[in-house]
Structure 1
């Protein structure tokens, strides 16, 4: 066992070194002045991320791939508007594997993957095998095997991989990270987060690309954008389908994979009523969508236990009418923060049994990244978060540095989904959480605190 462990540690360390050697050398060696990046998937999410790439002076978008001509056309229009040269395009012929022709390490310094979830794992694996660094939209894979395959490919090839989880860069989330690191909350005990977002008008439309939200009750082949692919997951699957928005910041705060780890997980799901009820309210009693049986529980609740004694609760709530909220709560021996009411309570500072408004604390603990780049982030998607997540990927490539949200973070956060599905299917059984670091979590340092560059 010791020899096996040492060999594994050697291979992991060797892969990390190899990864640094795979990164672009242009900036350090005085070669070309721009990173050459490609993008797979130019749908609505891809177009938002593309906007951040197009407006950067240190990036040349060299290639785009999409099998929907409408999406490619909208993406190319961004270059025309910006007065920049249009990139090469792939996929116009409808070939779902056209992206493989685009993956050329001699032509690309990195690739952004912004496709439907079921494509993420294979596309990332193909890119890493082609020695093209990956910035992957959230959801690293579908099955548990997907996650191990993505991880093992990254360790074997050493090709950099970053999960593009933008909520880790939300301004209040990063300020709370500063508070946690300063000890303001004392020792952390319990955290909460989730994805609580009414997606009914996203999961259904009338198939018209000009009306992607709330225009009808079609999905699948008759739908457009997310209604074309995302809704099918609600038909077939029951689990915590979108964990990283909630778990990403909570994992940061608790140093998961860096001195701490998830040890146990269980998940409960309510009955599924919301999507069917929405279809009925939209006049779908006689529509084929009205006959569909949905598997996804309206509210899915997952509990995670940590090695260091903390518990974390996640809630997935996308099928019922509600305002958007990620429901963050960070609670320690000295007090707690909750984002729903923008409030904080710190013993010895706040009045007993009373909330304080969070704003003055956010101003005091505002993260250096936001202090430095708030101007550049203005107007970027999701309140500026999309600027920061793209900025982090680009700057890490330029610096030949480790990705701030690395492969271990990606697979650990994303694997919550298949584990939650397994727990529900097994009558809400509590399961052991796999250690994707293979024992290295206890030796890795809590570097996931960001710096003032990226």
Structure 2
């Protein structure tokens, strides 16, 4: 079969996207409008706030941040969108001010966009207050954090979604269509990661007007993410940011829907990149940041084994010079896709031992959500992904439907971090991966709620 005829006939294999149709319907919305609060109005929080303010089915009623500058910027955004002024919390610097926000009457949901180490406690407090949670990645820091988040959700029944936007990337969702249509045959191996030069994010001048680059300060002398994120590289050695890579891979492999992670190990390279960056940028060997010993290896390589026999490889690479890439690879018995070269190869369709450009396949297998909402999402951050992930959270809440990326996904994807740290600390030991579903993975359906609705 030649490539043109194959692409023409492939629609039949998709079965009208029936394989992606959720087991519930969002047509009869339980709540037409939601009252939402935002905890964390920093750079990431403002991106998500924009998507909330753009919606005519959301009222942003409360904002919380202990940085008055960021809180002021968020209020200015609400004014720009001609929305009522939200109530604010945290101006005094009280780190527990978010509890006052959660105590508001008639608050339907909260978006949590704070430093990683705060996510678990804030999510738990929100769920205990019966306020639905949309949590930025990651779900927690320690392995116990993840069990605590899970048990709280199970006990309270409060909706919880991990806001992993890469699951909604345009090519990622087209490949999901191709996986479900068995284009790749039986899946054998998957790859992904977070390969992104973050040196100018981890260090800056400490000036609020310049959150990225311009200096080598971090911690109390830094600003924005440099104030908190860099310290993780000082104290920890592991796969610190797994969900961008593992989220799509888990979707493809039906993790928690007939499959699960069974084992994990991780390796760390030496740590050189952050020290060299500071030394070169500052030109001062005596600069305090140049004297810091960073624990995080420049390249962290993590491998997972799955119940159904697939392997998954993740790489965390944020301390060295490089172009951005998440390094996706989906490989099965019939062929493979790699996002680095934007190419595919299918046995019997592609020329032997040659790549094909992916674009024709992406166009043919465009996900229904992108067909429907591409124009609306065009103004959103990260190529439209931010609109889709917020839309999924809001629409699921309105319909009183299961979260597309639920608490089981959240804790398993995020628990890769402490497990990788343990593996490295114990001499790159292979560890059993906890079954957070406690056996439910055997009967849960492979929907990921990525149907035509949201």
3-state DSSP of counterpart to 2:265: strand
Counterparts of 2:71 and 2:372 in 1: how far apart (Å)?
A: 33
3-state DSSP of counterpart to 2:274: helix
- CA gap of 1:105–1:189, structure 2 versus 1, over 3 A, is farther
* Greater RCO, 1 or 2 (C-alpha within 8 Å, sep 6+): 2
Unpaired segments of 5 or more residues in structure 1? 1-26
Asked if structure 2 preserves the Cα contact closer than 8 Å seen for 1:168 and 1:248, the reply is: yes
Asked if structure 2 preserves the Cα contact closer than 8 Å seen for 1:252 and 1:449, the reply is: no
Residue matched to 1:155: 154
- CA gap of 1:31–1:252, structure 2 versus 1, over 3 A, is closer
Residue matched to 1:96: 95
Residue matched to 2:370: 370
Deviation at residue 80 of structure 1 after TM alignment:
1.1
Indicate whether 1:134 and 2:129 are aligned. Answer: no
Counterparts of 1:31 and 1:255 in 2: how far apart (Å)?
A: 28
Unpaired segments of 5 or more residues in structure 2? 1-25
Indicate whether 1:318 and 2:322 are aligned. Answer: no
Asked if structure 2 preserves the Cα contact closer than 8 Å seen for 1:265 and 1:419, the reply is: yes
Asked if structure 1 preserves the Cα contact closer than 8 Å seen for 2:64 and 2:71, the reply is: yes
Asked if structure 2 preserves the Cα contact closer than 8 Å seen for 1:267 and 1:423, the reply is: yes
Residue matched to 1:146: 145
Residue matched to 1:286: 286
Indicate whether 1:248 and 2:252 are aligned. Answer: no
Asked if structure 1 preserves the Cα contact closer than 8 Å seen for 2:132 and 2:158, the reply is: yes
Residue matched to 1:411: 411
Deviations along 1:22-54, one digit per CA (max 9) or x if unpaired, are xxxxx9999985210000000000000000000
Counterparts of 1:33 and 1:397 in 2: how far apart (Å)?
A: 10
Indicate whether 1:438 and 2:442 are aligned. Answer: no
Deviation at residue 105 of structure 1 after TM alignment:
6.4
Asked if structure 1 preserves the Cα contact closer than 8 Å seen for 2:258 and 2:445, the reply is: yes
Asked if structure 2 preserves the Cα contact closer than 8 Å seen for 1:105 and 1:131, the reply is: no
Indicate whether 1:45 and 2:44 are aligned. Answer: yes
Counterparts of 2:198 and 2:249 in 1: how far apart (Å)?
A: 23
Deviations along 1:370-422, one digit per CA (max 9) or x if unpaired, are 00000100120000000000000000000000000000000000000000000
Residue matched to 2:13: none
Counterparts of 2:341 and 2:421 in 1: how far apart (Å)?
A: 31
Asked if structure 2 preserves the Cα contact closer than 8 Å seen for 1:104 and 1:132, the reply is: no
Residue matched to 2:361: 361
Asked if structure 2 preserves the Cα contact closer than 8 Å seen for 1:252 and 1:448, the reply is: yes
3-state DSSP of counterpart to 2:228: helix
Residue matched to 1:10: none
Asked if structure 1 preserves the Cα contact closer than 8 Å seen for 2:40 and 2:112, the reply is: yes
Moved beyond 4 Å, runs of 4+: 27-33
Asked if structure 2 preserves the Cα contact closer than 8 Å seen for 1:239 and 1:297, the reply is: yes
Residue matched to 2:222: 223
Residue matched to 1:14: none
Asked if structure 1 preserves the Cα contact closer than 8 Å seen for 2:32 and 2:398, the reply is: no
Residue matched to 2:7: none
Asked if structure 1 preserves the Cα contact closer than 8 Å seen for 2:41 and 2:71, the reply is: yes
Counterparts of 2:449 and 2:390 in 1: how far apart (Å)?
A: 17
3-state DSSP of counterpart to 1:415: helix
Deviation at residue 357 of structure 1 after TM alignment:
0.2
- CA gap of 1:29–1:251, structure 2 versus 1, over 3 A, is closer
Counterparts of 1:28 and 1:410 in 2: how far apart (Å)?
A: 26
Deviation at residue 104 of structure 1 after TM alignment:
3.0
Residue matched to 2:17: none
RMSD: 1.3
Residue matched to 2:400: 400
Bigger shift: 440-449 or 332-341?
A: 440-449
Residue matched to 1:24: none
Deviation at residue 107 of structure 1 after TM alignment:
2.4
Asked if structure 2 preserves the Cα contact closer than 8 Å seen for 1:336 and 1:345, the reply is: yes
Deviation at residue 452 of structure 1 after TM alignment:
1.2
Indicate whether 1:75 and 2:81 are aligned. Answer: no
Counterparts of 1:64 and 1:437 in 2: how far apart (Å)?
A: 34
Residue matched to 1:7: none
Asked if structure 2 preserves the Cα contact closer than 8 Å seen for 1:143 and 1:418, the reply is: yes
Asked if structure 2 preserves the Cα contact closer than 8 Å seen for 1:271 and 1:298, the reply is: yes
Asked if structure 1 preserves the Cα contact closer than 8 Å seen for 2:392 and 2:404, the reply is: yes
Counterparts of 2:310 and 2:105 in 1: how far apart (Å)?
A: 46
TM-score (normalizing by structure 2): 0.93
Asked if structure 2 preserves the Cα contact closer than 8 Å seen for 1:42 and 1:65, the reply is: yes
Deviations along 1:133-173, one digit per CA (max 9) or x if unpaired, are 00000110000000000000000000000000000000000
3-state DSSP of counterpart to 2:111: strand
Counterparts of 2:136 and 2:108 in 1: how far apart (Å)?
A: 17
3-state DSSP of counterpart to 1:95: coil
- CA gap of 1:246–1:30, structure 2 versus 1, over 3 A, is closer
Residue matched to 1:380: 380
Counterparts of 1:412 and 1:284 in 2: how far apart (Å)?
A: 42
Asked if structure 1 preserves the Cα contact closer than 8 Å seen for 2:30 and 2:399, the reply is: no
